[in-house]
């Protein structure tokens, strides 16, 4: 009898626990999900010229030459470079200290320390986001001195060239133009 009474008391106690536990409400909360989206950054450039690629040298006449480098809209902040290469036979005839066939680099470009004929500029994030175009040559021209003589022209035995190549590398994480140039030319 004691055993039946004990089992009955335990059974009633279990039923009471389940009934009480079932009616308890726990305080809970949940936040809204935060979705993190990752996009890939990019740097896109273009090099254009509208004046062609073949030119005649005439004493005293400037040659229209308009190489331009464009940082495309949507790019990241970047180091922008242009390398200007003269062929080995580029005429070195002088008129005082100036060459008789010459060009100057446009404003805003600086020489990369330790490099010859490699120029750079920094394009900030706002400018890169909207895009920008930069002239390479000052006045978009090659200047031919009026003192260039027929004898000097006749000494040129083969065509000479001027070659432009543009490069860009992200600005973030790169602190000097030398380091940026090394990355751009890897």
pTM score, whole prediction: 0.80
Q: Which two structure tokens, joined as six digits, stand for 64?
A: 């229209």
Tens digits of pLDDT across the chain (186 residues):
666 666 666 566 555 555 555 567 788 999 999 998 887 789 999 999 999 889 999 999 999 999 999 999 999 999 999 999 999 999 989 988 889 999 999 999 999 999 999 999 999 999 999 999 999 999 999 999 999 999 998 888 889 999 999 999 999 999 999 999 999 999
Distance CA 42, CA 149 (A): 50
Q: What is the pLDDT of residues 2-11, one digit of tens each?
A: 666 666 665 6
What domains lie within the chain, and their CATH numbers? Answer: 45-184 (2.60.40)
- Dihedral pair phi/psi, residue 169, rounded to 5°: -145, 150
């Amino acid at each position: 009898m004691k055993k039946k009474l004990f089992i009955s008391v335990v059974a009633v106690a279990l039923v009471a626990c389940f009934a009480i536990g079932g009616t308890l409400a726990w305080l809970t909360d949940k936040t809204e999900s935060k979705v993190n989206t990752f996009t890939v950054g990019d740097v896109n450039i273009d090099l254009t010229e509208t004046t062609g690629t073949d030119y005649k040298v005439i004493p005293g006449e400037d040659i229209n030459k308009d190489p331009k480098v464009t940082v495309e809209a949507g790019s990241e902040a970047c180091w922008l470079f242009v390398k200007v290469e003269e062929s080995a036979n580029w005429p070195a005839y002088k008129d005082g200290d100036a060459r008789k066939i010459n060009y100057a680099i446009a404003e805003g470009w600086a020489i990369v320390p330790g490099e010859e004929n490699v120029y750079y500029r920094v394009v900030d994030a706002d400018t890169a986001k909207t895009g920008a175009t930069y002239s390479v040559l000052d006045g978009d021209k090659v200047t031919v001195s009026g003192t260039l003589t027929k004898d000097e022209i006749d000494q040129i035995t083969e065509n000479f060239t001027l070659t432009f190549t543009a490069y860009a590398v992200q600005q973030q994480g790169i602190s000097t133009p030398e380091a940026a140039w090394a990355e751009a030319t890897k």
